[in-house]
Amino acid sequence: MEPWSFKLELSRNPSDNNTTHVKLISNDILNLNVTHTFLESAVSTIKLLDKQRDVIYSGERGTIAPYALRNRTGYRITVWNSTDSNEEPVLKELENGQDMPWWFEDWRKRREVRQRKK
């Protein structure tokens, strides 16, 4: 594959159902061979991105949560984060049948913070 320079512009309009607009701009020509496998991959990628749109969590970290907690216990449960810092844990209630985006702290980052405190 030869180098190809381009500019990617992403924008989201909250007043229009959070519609995401994507612009791919280039002054160079891109030669692309479109095969059946390429089209299958493109469709799969679009479906995956569409699913990920529902997983985005704009909480404390403002990132996409890599995990989802699913409460199928039949009871309301309370979950919280555990930190080594002086911060109080954030308690979240999860009703039966509800899902919640979730993530864990990066173990490398936590290890570095612990080592600095010693």
Question: How buried is 10 (Cβ within 10 angstroms: 0-12 exposed, 13-18 middle, 19+ buried)?
Answer: exposed
Threshold 0.85, pTM exceeds: no
Contact 57, 63 (CB under 8 A): yes
Task: List the pLDDT tens digit at each of the 118 positions of the chain.
Answer: 678 899 999 888 777 777 888 899 999 988 888 899 889 998 998 888 777 665 554 444 555 677 889 999 999 999 887 766 667 777 889 999 999 888 776 656 655 555 555 5
CA 97 – CA 116 distance, rounded (Å):
41
